[in-house]
């Protein structure tokens, strides 16, 4: 898993990252910009064939790009949009649904080298 820059905690919301105190001015300064390829559930109506040999054929392959700000064995969280007046738009993907995490751009903070070990 990718190591991320230390985050401030919002005590009003339990163990949540407090975006109001975000040190970063731009996306990519807390974690790397990544492209996550992952499988999502899908439903198909009026189908005539089910592939029992390779059931994953029936899942939808998704790609999501954003700044990875949190990851554990349960969830990978990306910030896809950030605004000082509106906060952050996040996307959470179950980590075990992730097939591939491609780093597009490393974290841009001065401390990023010590965080990448």
In a domain, 2, yes or no: no
Q: Can you give the pLDDT at residue 99?
A: 96
Maximum distance among all alpha carbons in the chain?
A: 56
Q: Which residues of the chain have pLDDT under 50?
A: 8-14, 111-117
Q: What is the pTM of this model?
A: 0.70
Does 3 reside within a domain? no
pLDDT of residue 82: 78
Q: Is residue 98 part of a domain?
A: yes
Hey, which residues does 76 pair with through a beta bridge?
71, 93
Give the C-alpha distances (Å, rounded to integers) separating 107 from 12, 20, 25.
Answer: 27, 20, 12
Do the domain assignments include residue 4?
no
Instruction: Flag whether 92 is in a domain.
Output: yes
What's the confidence (pLDDT) of residue 20? 56
Say how many domains are in the chain.
1
Q: Containing domain of residue 20, as a range?
A: 9-115
Handedness of CA 98, 100, 106, 111 (dihedral sign): positive
């Amino acid at each position: 898993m990718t190591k991320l820059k230390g985050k401030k905690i919002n005590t009003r919301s339990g163990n949540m990252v407090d975006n109001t105190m975000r040190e970063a001015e731009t996306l990519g300064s807390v974690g790397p910009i990544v492209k996550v390829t992952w499988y999502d559930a899908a439903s198909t109506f009026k189908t005539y064939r089910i592939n029992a040999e390779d059931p994953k054929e029936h899942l939808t392959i998704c790609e999501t790009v954003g700044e990875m700000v949190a990851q554990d064995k349960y969830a990978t969280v990306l910030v896809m949009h950030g605004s000082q007046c509106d906060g952050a738009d996040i996307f959470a993907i179950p980590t075990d649904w992730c097939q591939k995490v491609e780093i597009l751009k490393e974290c841009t903070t001065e401390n990023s080298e010590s965080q990448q070990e």
